[in-house]
Structure 1
């Protein structure tokens, strides 16, 4: 039977191709969570849907590696965020924590096989999941699906195809495919209550999640799942005390670097105001850790069989979440908190609003909606069909408070709505499968289909104050001084009534120019508020069969045509050969592509970045915008890939083992160029030329921007890796081990786009080795789960020339959980993640560090730096 599809928003012409087959022989990550009395169930043959066409194939018969995780596997992981569950179960899946990264603080970037999020295709019930509205503003600039919107209680299972599959599923499936299978129960359900906190006493989390099934007549079901969660922030930083500014009252360097001569400044008022500098309620002016977050999520799955040959299905979701975090602290004299001359000649400083300086607080409200529906069945000639449509929308509404628009002076509000981001997708599809007897060991499966998709990305204009170009964005806005340094008539007038104006002093506040827009995240003006859209039509064909009892072959071709990038043809061949009844050899070769999204083509942003460990206002502009063109950007084009895999899977009594090697050659890789310096100083050479380019492109506040960048197809990379998965089952104990090696190297001259630091970090910042070893043993009603998470060594370049590098040691973090089965339906679990409270090394080497401003640990570290976390969970199944 074919797979379920997705529904849509309006009726349009076109048809979709959703999924093909890459059938995969793969070993499974063991069901470490299976109940002890069901330990034998680990030996039950599992079937996979992802990558297969026609009749689903067993894991042992698939031609590429697919990890299959049951509902029990998912429940046993001590996380509620589906992202974290995958990180725990799949060693080649990594997840970052970005405390200060605009929307990246709320939607975390993930990686499969060293590839960014947008190179892994996400499916639900085998149908493409829409992207989030967030485009990560640095590095790979990813825009992928927000997996956190999928509550774990809605999942019957997850399949992770660890192989390039663009020929089967289309753009994005370069690293692999993750297929979430929704529960389809027509009765019963579950309820789980989870609560815990970090050893540090912060980061409290409370989650209630559940599922209930209903029958629709005798032949239908409606399964509803929901989740409510509330997570508090953490802080693993210290009080802000740097060489250029120190506000730690316990430090001998207190007040170093601050301009204490500003009007309205007094040490007493400043110290008193420090407590209010950050609205996050922390003891430091700038916390480092996870943000506050709360969410309500709903998912439904339904189906109804009209007959043995026709079924209607529908599924979808609604999710509303809100997160808030801090930006960089603004101290007196940092370029934002400066004296300016008002129209009456008096002095004004933002210290009148924020006596202790301020830390902007950033809030993102994310609304996610999807609806998918389709009709599947079988024609009279036994050809199977699946007609479907889907619509998906993700919207982020930003709020910025505890900040100012400096250029508005005293008239500035302290709370802004800088704008919204909206990503929408509409897709229609038709998929067909036919079986033919051609004399082979099994029938030939012919799968083919058509697809049509429209997608759009909209930047919604913010409130006018969030982007307003106030009078104080330019020196001497009231014309108090003449070019020769003498006072004008207006200047003499304010001097006559007591103003301290001194036009002969170049340091006088009359010459101060301050930033434009809500500080920390200027709003989207009407100039940048625009909708970027495109459409795509595609067709695919897939053939597979068991040529002999030992040899399975598969081939697939896919053609897609984009309104903005032209067409691409990709293909793939895969095989499985049985060496013995228990050992199979498998492999594949395929090409792939990923077309830059409308969001990646259109996103713009001005925010504070750390190009050399120092905060700088940095602007990101679209490559084809007037700014991007003035800076020398080229038009974007699709990334293309060539994927190879070769492996084996075998069963040896109680041991199952898979070993897979892979290579991903990625050309024209999409990346943000390293920050380009901008300066208003005519003697700064190229940096001044960039400033003039911004002015020529009519960029508001160009004189307050210190750096710029844009996305480009910047270089080629080669990724080589290996996955090993082993499961050993004995009586009441299940042992599972999985190990991933992944190494990425730049395979072209990237110096035109990246500085030495960014090149070095791309190749070395992720641990090349990652492993998970778990053991579960049961004693009647009590089961014990121990999990070891291993990370290999990795390195981080600290300066732009990569002459200073910090090396991080390998490490292991242990999890422990005890689960007591109170009765058939009720169980109580308690345990701890990172039970020994292990942290990576602190940031810094030889007096240099990659972070600043109170950070203790490297904020971009993919190895968790939050410390130990303990929890309790009550599960009820009915």
Structure 2
């Protein structure tokens, strides 16, 4: 077996462009400089026609080529990764505030904020959005990266906090940008769902330019416009039903007399006007439009020094709906105006209303540095980067109920932003058979909640009973009589009755733009911190058959103190065709400034019915009054063991992993809030909100906050098999990927989660996921067949002991694509995703099937149906 001795030049370049210190690489002998072709194979950690999982590394890595990425008919890189990497899961949450636009994902059962994202080996900044449920994920928005800009994607499926720092608990995803100095590509794609909606057009382009004689400038642009889908039915619930022909419609209910042909027409018109469907509340993907740009540059200053830089700008906008406000719910109630007359928001929205939520996202970054080698065998990479992400909200088709008839119908609730500045120095020293890597880093982070416009959060006059002092005694209504103002109103024809507790004068309504109250000055703030880090990593051949790696990292945070983590990994070439690899390491993740500071009041369904739920920072007076403790870092211990084998044209990797995560951050189950003194703990929670000065506490029905709530154990297996076959009828590449993943509690979570949330946490997603594909090339034609498999999973109805459990059956999705190459540079593809138009089982659980919903809206199993598309690609 040839000794693995890295050429000094290759080592220096790998420090900037690959997953440093992760994979042992077969290189040329030290005295032989690698040519361009051999360097490419080393730097990319895989080449065209090679297995996509690197088989001689001590930890599992997937390498996705340009062809892999282009072979997936999605414009969002989240969907691309979900299609190609079985342990990467993604859900669509159409009514979940900002998660409508920036979707939560998982790798190996861990939220994406526990997966470190790199671009060209440099940390990618986080998005401004903190997911308000579950783990409160705040990770990078992968949708800001255009696929046209990518040369390859490396997915490291193992903890790597010792090399890269906080967040790398589940793994690392490294996006390598194109480095072409000439040529380019242009692509145009159009598609539509079988249902006739969700039209999508994507135009992408890349152009390589020479930067002087020794440099390159690669410019990539992408534009995408996607229309909304609707996969629900008309709203019909026990408390209100819009459809009189629905089996659940109750002709004897108090609402029945309201459901006239005129009302139905008004409700349907409202739906068509705000989201393009007859249903009053849609369920599906949102409207989305995005422009994305990436520029990657490099220049060889001398034989021993080079400069590099990359930058991006993304502007995108999406809109979705909130829950339908049916007539005479807590929002659409009669109130008495200042002249004593009765007014109801139905005068603005005669069919009720569905708030429409828009998010405008702006994202940009810049990274630059120099790298090279000194005369003393030391290679270096000095880098500085800046990243900024902002999401600005607009709420339409709603009101601030507390303002009554003076309310507008469009609001700007505020803006969230996340800003990062990092300076880093990485060094490598060649010790012949070993490579010593070490480095230093400084990171400054700022999360900002900008105040919304006044009308979006102000508590108007109708946030309290009898705002115009018409009655003498609000506390003892039976004895209340009209005041002078009340008598004047009666004299002018008012029906005011101060002794009637049902009189509209006593109505108390919600505060703020309904659906998403704006950020008030009390909850608008900037949260900042900085951190320092130092690491050492040594790797090399112990013997001709055994490669080992060890790393240790120290980090110090201004808000959490210091942490030390380590990792040891090894690869043993047992036979010429079989290798054994293993690793053990610790990791950590410091809660982000966003997780520590985010505040939100939105409509949710904690008990199956829509209520306003407030999320407050764990360190705030509100959460502290409810029993919260300030957040601490999450810590982990990772173990992996794998076998790699190359049997002729068949390549196999089988990896087992075990991740213990302690002090896992998660939102606590919603705590009920009630203004009724007989409701015990719920009333105590109301008093806590009131004493903490929460505006509109009377209209909040639940509260929660993030906590280090429990420990978990995640175990799983990744199996990847590739087989290349050549025949007179063409060449075929078969790929099979299978992931088994199970997450369980490793401590008692009952203090923070109710029984329903505990059950769903452990059972709510498939434990088995597979992707199987065959790509065949014959002459000028290329065909692709891909089968995606999702195993069974379960969901429970409520936290009651006798609650029903729904079992969801496994599901297959089959994709077909055919491509014809007119020339070497021009091709046209036709394809179908989900050719059999399969859907997951309809949800039978009340909370997950409420309000016109048919399928679990947060399911990782896609519920949009079949999709057909065509794609033109030109290379020049």
Normalised by the length of structure 2, the TM-score is 0.93
Q: Could you tell me how far apart the structure 1 residues matched to 2:283 and 2:581 are?
A: 46
Does the 8 A contact of 1:740 with 1:770 survive in 2? Answer: yes
In structure 1, the partner of 2:873 is 875
Does the 8 A contact of 1:244 with 1:256 survive in 2? Answer: no
From 161, 169, 173, the equivalent of 2:164 is 169
Q: How far did 1:871 drift? A: 0.4
1:628 aligns with 2:623: yes
Does the 8 A contact of 2:225 with 2:290 survive in 1? Answer: yes
Q: Could you tell me how far apart the structure 1 residues matched to 2:792 and 2:256 are?
A: 48
Q: Could you tell me how far apart the structure 2 residues matched to 1:757 and 1:579 are?
A: 48
Q: How far did 1:266 drift? A: 9.1
Q: Secondary structure at the match of 1:687?
A: helix
Deviates more, 1:462-471 or 1:476-485: 476-485
Deviations 1:328-380 (A, max 9, x none): 00011110000001111110100111111100000000000000000001111
Q: Could you tell me how far apart the structure 2 residues matched to 1:560 and 1:448 are?
A: 14
1:125 aligns with 2:123: no
Q: How far did 1:59 drift? A: 3.1
From 443, 454, 457, the equivalent of 1:453 is 443
Q: Could you tell me how far apart the structure 1 residues matched to 2:117 and 2:352 are?
A: 43
Q: Could you tell me how far apart the structure 2 residues matched to 1:474 and 1:353 are?
A: 22
Superposed counterparts of 1:15-26, under 5 Å? 20-23=20-23
From 264, 268, 272, the equivalent of 1:271 is 264
In structure 2, the partner of 1:9 is none
1:480 aligns with 2:470: yes
In structure 2, the partner of 1:499 is 494
Q: Secondary structure at the match of 1:837?
A: coil
Does the 8 A contact of 2:18 with 2:44 survive in 1? Answer: no
Does the 8 A contact of 2:166 with 2:588 survive in 1? Answer: yes
In structure 2, the partner of 1:243 is 238
In structure 2, the partner of 1:109 is 104
| CA separation of 1:108 and 1:18: change in aligned 2, threshold 3 A | same
In structure 1, the partner of 2:663 is 668
Q: Could you tell me how far apart the structure 2 residues matched to 1:232 and 1:287 are?
A: 13
| CA separation of 1:827 and 1:261: change in aligned 2, threshold 3 A | closer
In structure 2, the partner of 1:308 is 303
1:581 aligns with 2:580: no
In structure 2, the partner of 1:467 is 457
| CA separation of 1:45 and 1:375: change in aligned 2, threshold 3 A | closer
From 65, 81, 95, the equivalent of 2:90 is 95
Superposed counterparts of 1:273-672, under 5 Å? 273-278=266-271, 279-437=274-432, 443-483=433-473, 484-672=479-667
Q: Could you tell me how far apart the structure 1 residues matched to 2:110 and 2:326 are?
A: 38
In structure 2, the partner of 1:786 is 785
Deviations 1:210-255 (A, max 9, x none): 1000001110000000100100000000010101111114337658
Deviations 1:116-162 (A, max 9, x none): 01000000000000000000000111000000111101000000000
In structure 1, the partner of 2:748 is 749
Q: Could you tell me how far apart the structure 1 residues matched to 2:466 and 2:780 are?
A: 78
Q: Could you tell me how far apart the structure 1 residues matched to 2:648 and 2:38 are?
A: 10
| CA separation of 1:48 and 1:229: change in aligned 2, threshold 3 A | same
| CA separation of 1:491 and 1:20: change in aligned 2, threshold 3 A | same
Q: Could you tell me how far apart the structure 1 residues matched to 2:232 and 2:24 are?
A: 45
| CA separation of 1:347 and 1:254: change in aligned 2, threshold 3 A | farther
Q: Could you tell me how far apart the structure 2 residues matched to 1:290 and 1:22 are?
A: 38
In structure 1, the partner of 2:32 is none
Q: Could you tell me how far apart the structure 2 residues matched to 1:276 and 1:476 are?
A: 35
Does the 8 A contact of 1:191 with 1:210 survive in 2? Answer: yes
Does the 8 A contact of 1:572 with 1:589 survive in 2? Answer: yes
Q: Secondary structure at the match of 2:237?
A: coil
Q: Could you tell me how far apart the structure 2 residues matched to 1:325 and 1:641 are?
A: 37
Q: Could you tell me how far apart the structure 1 residues matched to 2:422 and 2:355 are?
A: 39
Does the 8 A contact of 1:767 with 1:792 survive in 2? Answer: yes
Does the 8 A contact of 1:725 with 1:739 survive in 2? Answer: yes
1:853 aligns with 2:846: no
User: Which residues of structure 2 form unaligned runs of 5+?
Assistant: 1-10, 27-36, 47-51, 474-478
Q: Secondary structure at the match of 2:519?
A: coil
Does the 8 A contact of 1:755 with 1:801 survive in 2? Answer: no
In structure 1, the partner of 2:215 is 220
Q: Secondary structure at the match of 2:131?
A: coil
Does the 8 A contact of 2:250 with 2:256 survive in 1? Answer: no
Q: Secondary structure at the match of 2:659?
A: strand
From 698, 712, 717, the equivalent of 1:703 is 698
Q: Could you tell me how far apart the structure 2 residues matched to 1:261 and 1:783 are?
A: 59
Deviations 1:459-481 (A, max 9, x none): 01111000011000111111112
Q: Could you tell me how far apart the structure 1 residues matched to 2:353 and 2:76 are?
A: 32
Q: How far did 1:44 drift? A: 13
Does the 8 A contact of 1:3 with 1:126 survive in 2? Answer: no
Does the 8 A contact of 2:609 with 2:847 survive in 1? Answer: no
Normalised by the length of structure 1, the TM-score is 0.93
Q: How many residues align?
A: 839
Q: How far did 1:505 drift? A: 1.1
Q: Could you tell me how far apart the structure 1 residues matched to 2:253 and 2:598 are?
A: 35
Q: How far did 1:796 drift? A: 1.3
Q: How far did 1:19 drift? A: 6.8
In structure 2, the partner of 1:796 is 795
Q: Could you tell me how far apart the structure 2 residues matched to 1:473 and 1:4 are?
A: 62
Q: Could you tell me how far apart the structure 2 residues matched to 1:50 and 1:539 are?
A: 26
Q: Could you tell me how far apart the structure 2 residues matched to 1:112 and 1:379 are?
A: 39
In structure 2, the partner of 1:740 is 739
Q: Secondary structure at the match of 1:61?
A: coil
Q: How far did 1:58 drift? A: 10
Q: Secondary structure at the match of 1:277?
A: helix
Does the 8 A contact of 2:722 with 2:736 survive in 1? Answer: yes
| CA separation of 1:716 and 1:18: change in aligned 2, threshold 3 A | farther
From 713, 716, 719, the equivalent of 2:714 is 719
Q: Could you tell me how far apart the structure 2 residues matched to 1:801 and 1:260 are?
A: 29
1:829 aligns with 2:825: no
Superposed counterparts of 1:247-258, under 5 Å? 247-251=242-246
Does the 8 A contact of 1:164 with 1:643 survive in 2? Answer: yes
RMSD between aligned residues? 2.2
Deviates more, 1:444-453 or 1:473-482: 473-482
In structure 2, the partner of 1:150 is 145
Q: Could you tell me how far apart the structure 1 residues matched to 2:645 and 2:627 are?
A: 54
Q: How far did 1:693 drift? A: 0.2
